[in-house]
Structure 1
Amino acid sequence: MFRIGLEVFLQQDVPTRFGDRIGFLSNQACTNRYFRYGKDLLQEKLAKRLTCLFSPQHGFYAEKQDNMIESAHHLDLTTGLPIYSLYGEHRKPTEEMFDQLDTLLIDLPDIGTRVYTFMYTMAYCLQAAAQYGKKIVILDRPNPLGGEQIEGNLLRDDCRSFVGMYALPMRHGLTLGELALFFNKEYAIGADLEVVAVQGWRRDMYFSDCPHPWLAPSPNMPTLEAAINYPGQVIWEGTHVSEGRGTTLPFSVFGTPYWQHDEVLAFLQRYPLAGCVLRPLLFEPTSGKWAGNTCTGFQLHIQSRKDFNSYRVGMILLQAAMLVYRQQFEYKKPPYEYEYEKLPMDLILGDRALREALEAGESVVTLEQGWQAELLDYDRRRRCYFLYQ
């Protein structure tokens, strides 16, 4: 029987160690299999013990479209409880917020990628719980990309930000509950932490293998395919190349008005693009980069999830944009996710030297070989926190 952590928790008695006041951090993608919001189900179970709610980036209903668009605290009309925004004036819960609870339940979707901010909202909650003597309980969900494959270089200390607080590879291969255990121990946070595990999930399962509905965790993550593409396609956020925001296929289509299909494809001949096909097309974003302009670009189609390495493909495409169009190519300028000085591309890649090597034309294959030792070390350490086989 497959059950997410929320469904498992709802079937259990609530331990007395959780205290009389319980808060809940979630968003609109956090439902049971019948599309009922966790906040409403928990109020039915806990009654007055549920005292307050919290929301991550984009707001509880994921109504805020873009990065660095903050949401305010407000009252939830169905439960009558306050919703404290953790993507506004504060990204870390304050003492006043945590004064209203003994235990914080966290049920957040994650898409298995280092730069997705929900895991860092969870990490800030761990830090606050350790500071104020509260308990954290993660109601776990599957990693939609599965738990076997990992991709990319580890984050460097000088590239830390709200899209990268800890030394993870781009595709980290852990669930949110496993990440919480990893952060709490590896970085000596020391919070009182428990995880309610998913029942019936295995590491070889993508979300499409799970009998649970896919709900967009954020406004521009409409499909599982977009999530699988994301570890590589998110790189475009650090450039003026459209990553497909403002279209119906974000993180699946990409391009600019000045690209030429044949020029990009000629550069790509030097690299094998395993597990995927690039289909040439034109598209016109209705918002975001190049809004109202016809872009020449491609749609990324995955043919084999096992062979597809999104981050490798993303770096190859980035290098094509850098080198084929040296005069036109531009990086996005700061700010980016509350970092006002460092280049957004360095925060996304997690290593300024990697960006410089790509600019210099170094082979992506050679660059990948250079980080295999640290990736293997990360793989060894993450296995200590596995909750699933």
Structure 2
Amino acid sequence: MRRRNVFAASAALAAAGVLAAPAAASAHGPGKGRVRTGFDRLAADGYAELAGQRVGIISNPTGVTSDLTHEVDVMAADGRVDLVAVFGPEHGFRGTSQAGEGEDYFIDPKTGLPVYNAYNDKGKMADFFAELELDTIVFDIQDVGSRFYTYIWTMYLAMEAAATLGIRFVVLDRPNPVTGIEAQGPILHPEFSSFVGLKAISQRHGMTIGELARLFNGEFLPETVGTSADLTVVELGGWKRRMTFEETGLPWVAPSPNMPTTTTARLYPGTCLFEASALSEGRGTTQPFQLIGAPGIDHRWEAALNESDLDGVRFREAYFKPVFSKWVNQTCGGVEVQITDIDSFDPIRTALTMIITQRQVFPEYGWRPGDTVPWIDKLTGSTAVREAIEAGADVDTVIAGWRGELAEFSRIRRDYLLYR
């Protein structure tokens, strides 16, 4: 793998609502050379940002310190924080649920705190926030950089509720694990809004969760609820946009049951599109979004894909039997997607090439139907990608179809970036 040309650190931004780096080290903070998360810096400052407030937190198993202690456990035991409730997104606060599910209300046995289900329901969150008389909502969840990952939309709905009620919203930032160089892919059109994409951002957004919160606050909340939230982002320390997650020195905790590794996260902005296909996207295997296939597919797909000579990736002929989800307990043939160069790998171009090639070699497998619109339209954000593929377009033509919209989003996105 070629060496990266890592950007030099720039001067700290003097942006409103963004904390400067405290000098002290957190007791639960990173070791020497590690990137410091938003929580590391909040704790190092003695939780001054939360002093005197009734606090609720939206988090999941990824809300850990660098020594893998959960921040809720840390704050619940610290008298300087009045933490009164926890809210869980899809899969739940402690991560007990599968895709499309939250956790029902329970009392957390470790901390004694009430845990509420905040999955996909703004009205329910607003009722909880008001009933608990919260002053501040904290959000800290590891995102993976893709529009269809639902945690960012839980954050958006919580921000809407907070803005409506006049409650502060504090985001503890974490790195984008697939780097944050640029935005990629098609832009969501409003008529295709769903919980795998509520607002007009690109398929791979290239932002941290804190930067996304700033964009949501500046671009979308005013038009939705008539006002912005009282937003504070506690910035990362030492993060550069070109960093891989491995270079941060932070521990990887699976953000969801089917996101086990950083390789999965790098593939997901592209191969998640196979959720909209009749093929298995590898759910129910140990390599979700890396193993792709269906019964009857064989070595011909792998051969055609490797002949396409895509940068940064190779395909291995593979056979697998999912234990749940599509094609459960049936032997599937297909490919294992292997990233050979992180720098040159393009997940969206790769996935589109896979879809186009599969339809040429094994045309009997088409799209997965949706309830009201084809699922592929929800994931790509419009009819354009599906219609181009169905018309026989090559991958360059499909990508050219969103180039203008992506350029406009990229221009807007620049105003909300925190790390140059």
Matches within 5 A, 1:101-250: 101-187=134-220, 188=222, 189-250=227-288
User: Aligned to 2:42, which of 6, 9, 21?
Assistant: 9
Contact 1:282 1:298 in 2 (8 A): yes
Equivalent-residue separation in structure 2 for 1:374 and 1:257 (angstroms): 37
Contact 2:75 2:81 in 1 (8 A): no
Secondary structure of 2:148's counterpart equals coil
Equivalent-residue separation in structure 1 for 2:248 and 2:183 (angstroms): 20
User: Aligned to 2:321, which of 280, 284, 300?
Assistant: 284
Equivalent-residue separation in structure 1 for 2:148 and 2:270 (angstroms): 11
Equivalent-residue separation in structure 1 for 2:372 and 2:195 (angstroms): 14
Please identify, of 125-134 and 1-10, the stretch whose mean Cα deviation from structure 2 is larger: 1-10
Contact 1:345 1:355 in 2 (8 A): yes
Per the alignment, residue 296 of structure 2 pairs with: 258
User: Aligned to 1:52, which of 62, 66, 85?
Assistant: 85
The answer to whether structure 1 residue 95 and structure 2 residue 127 are counterparts is yes
The answer to whether structure 1 residue 38 and structure 2 residue 71 are counterparts is yes
User: Aligned to 1:333, which of 361, 364, 369?
Assistant: 369
- Give the unaligned 5+ runs of structure 1: 335-339
Per the alignment, residue 108 of structure 2 pairs with: 76
Equivalent-residue separation in structure 1 for 2:381 and 2:395 (angstroms): 15
Equivalent-residue separation in structure 1 for 2:120 and 2:410 (angstroms): 34
- Give the unaligned 5+ runs of structure 2: 1-32
Amino acid at match of 1:324: V
Equivalent-residue separation in structure 2 for 1:311 and 1:323 (angstroms): 18
Amino acid at match of 2:157: Y
Q: Summarize the Cα distance change of 1:201–1:267 in structure 2 as closer, same or farther, 3 Å threshold.
A: closer
Secondary structure of 2:78's counterpart equals helix
Amino acid at match of 1:81: L
Per the alignment, residue 330 of structure 2 pairs with: 293
The answer to whether structure 1 residue 372 and structure 2 residue 400 are counterparts is no
Q: Structure 1 residue 260: deviation in Å?
A: 2.3
Please identify, of 76-85 and 174-183, the stretch whose mean Cα deviation from structure 2 is larger: 76-85
Equivalent-residue separation in structure 1 for 2:217 and 2:377 (angstroms): 26
**What's the Cα RMSD here?**
1.9
Contact 2:302 2:315 in 1 (8 A): no
Equivalent-residue separation in structure 2 for 1:136 and 1:174 (angstroms): 18
Equivalent-residue separation in structure 1 for 2:50 and 2:316 (angstroms): 55
Amino acid at match of 2:408: D
Q: Structure 1 residue 171: deviation in Å?
A: 0.9
Amino acid at match of 1:97: F
Contact 1:323 1:359 in 2 (8 A): no
Contact 1:6 1:32 in 2 (8 A): yes
Secondary structure of 1:42's counterpart equals helix
Give aligned-pair identity as a percent: 36
Please identify, of 7-16 and 282-291, the stretch whose mean Cα deviation from structure 2 is larger: 7-16
Size of the aligned set, in residue pairs, is 381
User: Aligned to 1:303, which of 325, 334, 340?
Assistant: 340
Q: Structure 1 residue 16: deviation in Å?
A: 6.9
Q: Summarize the Cα distance change of 1:90–1:378 in structure 2 as closer, same or farther, 3 Å threshold.
A: closer
Secondary structure of 1:52's counterpart equals strand
Equivalent-residue separation in structure 2 for 1:118 and 1:243 (angstroms): 20
Q: Summarize the Cα distance change of 1:314–1:137 in structure 2 as closer, same or farther, 3 Å threshold.
A: same
Contact 1:105 1:136 in 2 (8 A): yes
